């Protein structure tokens, strides 16, 4: 048999393309394809096996095997050599197939007489579609050139065909991209949403996998790669002062963009007949296949980088930007690998839901999604590969589950969920202007957390009494450079205008830990959550703190002002921060600015140490707000960003509640106003318990105010406190079961 030369493989590709272009019906076309591959490769047999479902392969076309076996012969994933290729995604090339481990012949096909076997996975961007096989009687190992040629053919096959259409009449397999898929991710923001997929970075469509003129394709590839290198260099320059992680990624981009191996492989693909974009995609596919096999997070990250770079190159080659001209579908649900907070803000409230492959609960994007009250699921692995623009999708933010192209039963169950959500919203709207007064006559103050101008309309909509926590760092995080004092003053002034006299508690900049400003030199700290963050930065480098305090004083322009310092761990930090406020105030007076008619200065209690500060501290602060997210992580020594350890410890754990009760007692003794502004304040059961142990004010995301108020208005806090104490006296670890039982019976 002759060696398959490069020109022969090109010839094969051209014949393949012509066949694809013919108007033959699906099956007839696939039969022709197997015929011409066998003919070109000089083998007696060529067969195509396709996935019928996730576990089963079906012989869908053959040249050389018994035609009766087509659509009859099926095998399980991993069964026989074909099943092995399908399962591992790896090529099997054997001169003596019957001797191979796992060999199993299918008698109905008549394949037992063939000795050599070459099986190639058919996959597109890491997605397994089937297996392409050639067999011959002659016992021979296929040359690397032949393997290569068949690999390219498999890729073109995957690219050019809707393979689902080839499966026999009445077969259950639908094209993979029509099947329902469920993703189990993690909750980023609660709520249910249904709508249509809108890909943040739409997939590039390749219409010409086979090219006539390799020289022209090589020139196109070289020009595109030059363009890409310039772009990456520009990005690196732009990021010169950026954060370490971003620099690392860009350096990796640069490395790949200049990688000779990457280039050589793509040039070889072109020489064998692929178009420039198909060559890029072939490399991308290989990277994805490797990605699914490596578990080392660093290596996976680099393969991701290569994937990104390939996408960029494809966009340059095809001229398809993020803007593909496609119309945003109604009720768009954004699908992305990851997204920055600024990009998310650009979409704003037009989105009904967000699903990310990566991200974390504490990521900036998650903070923005929460601020916008858009249901968010993170860690939905592979969703960007599975979803197509316009696909029907349902996002269950409560469970962290996503249904892509759901079937009827899921749709109707989900509709019920959305209807219940709508009913609940109506119920909440009806109590919006009523106080959160409990059955035993205590009124709890319900305030909202905010961080963006876009949050302020929720102040009226939610019925919040004020803003209990305004996270000022969001404004810093969504910019590319440090905002100026006058910009901040203008923004804070607009916030106060929009609040119409309701109290707004501005928390000074809380950066560090996971909140890294893109334009500040990152700190290489072994434990950022315990590191140089929040007020520690503010006091060590007081320039920004002073600028922010001035901006706040100017924004108030005579109106009352409330400021709170984050992450105070010992009371001297509070005195030092307050001294900065006094200095700023004195300076404003000298400059002749109007000063606020009333200033309240408080601290966040986020470290256990502060709960044990001297009485003097409790008397000195105007108010205290418990930052439950941080306080809980330090109380249990469990990283709030690490789901695995975070979820081990219940907020309703007896030790934690007892600790909170001690804080309440100290505040009561010193007559210090106390609130709670961590995420738990927005969870109805937790909120009821916090109120029951004596926390008079809760601050939460706006969407939680309705549900929390609803529960409080149906609860007798005295009785609930007795239930909590009862559970503690019985030695229970968490009071949750007892509280749930009580609320269920009482509601
Ligand atoms: C907290 O720690 O509970 C808090 C409200 O602050 P942040 O979540 O912004 O750290
Ligand atoms: Mg905090």
Active site residue 364: yes
Which segments of 589-683 are extended strands (E)? Answer: 599-605, 623-626, 673-676
Ligand 1 atom index nearest CA of 630: 2
| Residues with C-beta less than 6 Å from any ligand 1 atom | 469, 471, 510, 606, 627-630, 677-678
Whether pLDDT at 381 is above 70: yes
Residue 227 burial (CB count, 10 A): 14
Pocket test for ligand 1, best of 451, 472, 566, 697 (most atoms within 8 A of CB): 566
Instruction: Quick: pLDDT tens for 182-241.
Output: 999 998 888 889 999 999 877 677 777 788 888 999 999 999 999 888 887 877 776 555
Considering only residues 566 and 342, tell me which one the structure prediction assigns the higher pLDDT: 566
- What's the confidence (pLDDT) of residue 655? 98
What is the CATH superfamily name and number for domain 6-162? GAF domain (3.30.450.40)
Å from CA of 471 to ligand 2 middle = 10
pLDDT of residue 173: 40
**Does residue 585 surpass a pLDDT of 70?**
yes
| Mean pLDDT of the 54-79 span | 89
How would you class 408 by CB atoms within 10 Å of its CB: exposed for 0-12, middle for 13-18, buried for 19 or more? exposed
Q: Is 512 helix (H, G, I), strand (E, B) or coil?
A: strand
pLDDT at 323: 55
Confidence of residue 159 (pLDDT cuts 50, 70, 90): low
Q: What is the CA 167 to chain-centroid distance, rounded?
A: 35
Catalytic residue among 667, 677, 689, 725: 677
Domain spans in the chain, listed from the N-terminal domain onward: 6-162, 181-202+324-416, 214-318, 439-744
| Confidence bin at 2 (pLDDT 50/70/90) | very low
How deeply is 237 buried, as exposed, middle or buried, from its count of CB atoms within 10 A (0-12, 13-18, 19+)?
A: exposed
| CATH code assigned to 181-202+324-416 | 3.50.30.10
| For the CA of 474, the nearest ligand | 1
Q: What is the mean pLDDT of the chain?
A: 86
Ligand 1, atom 6: nearest CA belongs to which residue?
627
pLDDT of 578 over the 90 cut: yes
Residue 575 has pLDDT above 50, yes or no: yes
Residues around the ion ligand 2 (C-beta < 5 A): 606, 627, 630
Strand partners, 334: 198, 354
Supply the pLDDT for residue 161.
52
pLDDT, position 241: 53
Top mean pLDDT of 67-81, 355-369, 599-613 is at 599-613
Give the CATH number of domain 439-744.
3.20.20.60
- Would you state the pLDDT for residue 174? 46
- At 199, phi and psi to the nearest 5? -75, 130
Which of 96-100, 484-488, 639-643 has the largest mean confidence?
Answer: 484-488
Query: What sign has the CA pseudo-torsion 224, 230, 236, 239?
Result: negative
Split at pLDDT 50, 70, 90, the class of 342 is low
pLDDT at 702 over 80: yes
Residue 457: what pLDDT?
81
Catalytic-labelled residue, pool 60, 71, 304, 364: 364
Least confident stretch, 220-224, 230-234, 459-463, 562-566: 230-234
- Rounded to the nearest angstrom, the distance between the alpha carbon of 297 and the centre of ligand 2 is 28
Determine the pLDDT at residue 168.
Answer: 42
Chain center to CA of 112: 49
Instruction: Calculate how far, in angstroms, residue 624's C-alpha sits from the geometric centre of ligand 2.
Output: 13
Residue 434 has pLDDT above 70, yes or no: yes
* Buried-exposed string 286-313: b where 16+ CB fall within 10 A, e elsewhere: bbbbebeeeeeeeeeebbbbbbbbbbbb
Contacts of 612 (CB under 8 A, 6+ apart): none
CA dihedral 29, 32, 36, 42 (to 10 degrees): 130
Is the model's pLDDT at 632 over the cut of 90? yes
Q: Pick 214-318's CATH classification: 1.10.287.3240, 1.10.274.10, 3.30.70.1710, 1.10.3720.10.
A: 1.10.274.10
- 140-144, 247-251, 264-268: least confidently modelled range: 247-251
Rounded to whole angstroms, how far apart are CA atoms 282 and 280? 5
Atom 4 (ligand 1): residue with closest C-alpha? 627
């Amino acid at each position: 048999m002759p060696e398959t030369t490069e020109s022969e493989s090109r010839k094969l590709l051209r014949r393949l393309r012509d066949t694809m272009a013919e108007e033959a019906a699906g099956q007839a076309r696939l039969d022709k394809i197997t015929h011409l591959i066998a003919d070109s490769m000089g083998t007696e047999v060529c067969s195509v096996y396709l996935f019928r479902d996730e576990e089963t392969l079906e012989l869908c076309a053959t040249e050389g095997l018994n035609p009766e076996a087509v659509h009859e012969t099926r095998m399980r994933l991993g069964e026989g050599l074909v099943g092995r290729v399908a399962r591992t995604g790896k090529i099997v090339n054997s001169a003596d197939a019957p001797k191979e481990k796992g060999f199993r012949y299918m008698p109905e096909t008549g394949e037992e007489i063939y000795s050599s076997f070459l099986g190639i996975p058919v996959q597109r961007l890491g997605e397994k579609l089937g297996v392409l096989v050639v067999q011959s009687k002659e016992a021979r190992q296929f040359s690397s050139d032949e393997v290569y040629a068949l690999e390219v053919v498999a890729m073109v096959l995957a690219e050019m065909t809707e393979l689902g259409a080839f499966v026999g009449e009445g077969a259950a397999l639908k094209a993979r991209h029509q099947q329902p898929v469920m993703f189990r991710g993690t909750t980023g923001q609660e709520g249910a949403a249904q709508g249509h997929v809108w890909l943040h970075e739409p997939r590039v469509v390749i219409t010409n996998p086979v090219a006539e003129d390799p020289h022209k394709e090589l020139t196109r590839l070289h020009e595109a790669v030059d363009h890409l290198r310039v772009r990456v260099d520009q990005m690196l320059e732009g990021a010169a002062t950026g954060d370490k992680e971003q620099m690392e990624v860009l350096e990796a981009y640069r490395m790949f963009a200049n990688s000779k191996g990457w280039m050589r492989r793509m040039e070889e693909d072109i020489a064998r007949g692929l178009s420039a974009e198909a060559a890029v995609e072939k490399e991308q596919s290989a990277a994805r296949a490797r990605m699914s096999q490596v578990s080392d997070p660093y290596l996976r990250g680099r393969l991701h980088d290569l994937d990104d770079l390939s996408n960029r190159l494809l966009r340059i080659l095809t001229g398809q930007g993020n803007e593909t001209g496609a119309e945003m579908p109604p009720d768009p649900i954004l699908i992305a690998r990851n997204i920055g907070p600024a990009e998310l803000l650009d979409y704003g409230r037009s989105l009904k839901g967000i699903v990310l492959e990566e991200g974390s609960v504490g990521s900036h994007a998650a903070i923005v999604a929460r601020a916008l009250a858009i249901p968010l699921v993170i860690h939905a692995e592979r969703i960007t590969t599975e979803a197509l623009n316009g696909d029907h999708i349902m996002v269950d933010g409560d469970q962290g589950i996503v249904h892509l192209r759901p079937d009827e039963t899921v749709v109707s169950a989900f509709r019920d969920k959305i209807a219940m959500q709508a009913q609940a919203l109506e119920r909440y709207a009806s109590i919006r202007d009523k106080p959160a007064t409990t059955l035993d006559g205590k009124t709890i103050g319900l305030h909202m957390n905010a961080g963006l101008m876009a949050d302020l309309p929720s102040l009226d909509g939610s019925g919040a009494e004020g803003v209990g926590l305004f996270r000022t760092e969001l404004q810093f995080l969504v910019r590319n450079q440090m905002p100026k004092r006058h910009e901040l003053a203008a923004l804070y002034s607009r916030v106060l205008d929009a609040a119409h006299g309701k109290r707004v508690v501005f928390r000074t900049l809380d950066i560090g830990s996971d909140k890294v400003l893109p334009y500040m030199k990152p700190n290489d700290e072994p434990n950022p959550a315990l590191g140089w963050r929040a007020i520690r930065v503010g006091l060590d480098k007081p320039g920004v703190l002073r600028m922010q305090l001035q901006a706040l004083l100017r924004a108030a322009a005579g109106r009352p002002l409330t400021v709170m310092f984050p992450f105070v761990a010992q009371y001297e930090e509070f005195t030092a921060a307050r001294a900065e406020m006094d200095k700023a105030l004195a300076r404003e007076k000298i400059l002749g600015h109007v000063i606020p008619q009333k200033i309240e200065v408080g601290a966040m209690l986020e470290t256990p140490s502060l709960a044990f500060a001297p009485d003097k501290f409790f008397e000195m602060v105007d108010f205290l707000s418990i930052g439950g997210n941080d306080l809980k992580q330090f109380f249990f020594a469990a990283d709030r960003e690490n789901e695995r350890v975070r979820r081990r410890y219940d907020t309703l754990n007896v030790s934690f509640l007892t600790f909170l009760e001690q804080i309440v007692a100290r505040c009561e003794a010193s007559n210090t106003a106390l609130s709670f502004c961590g995420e738990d304040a927005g969870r109805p059961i937790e909120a009821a318990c916090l109120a029951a142990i004596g926390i008079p004010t809760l601050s939460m995301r706006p969407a939680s105010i309705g549900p929390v108020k609803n529960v409080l208005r149906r609860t007798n806090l005295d009785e609930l406190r007795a239930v909590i104490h009862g559970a503690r006296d019985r030695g229970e670890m968490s009071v949750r079961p007892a509280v749930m039982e009580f609320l269920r019976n009482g509601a």
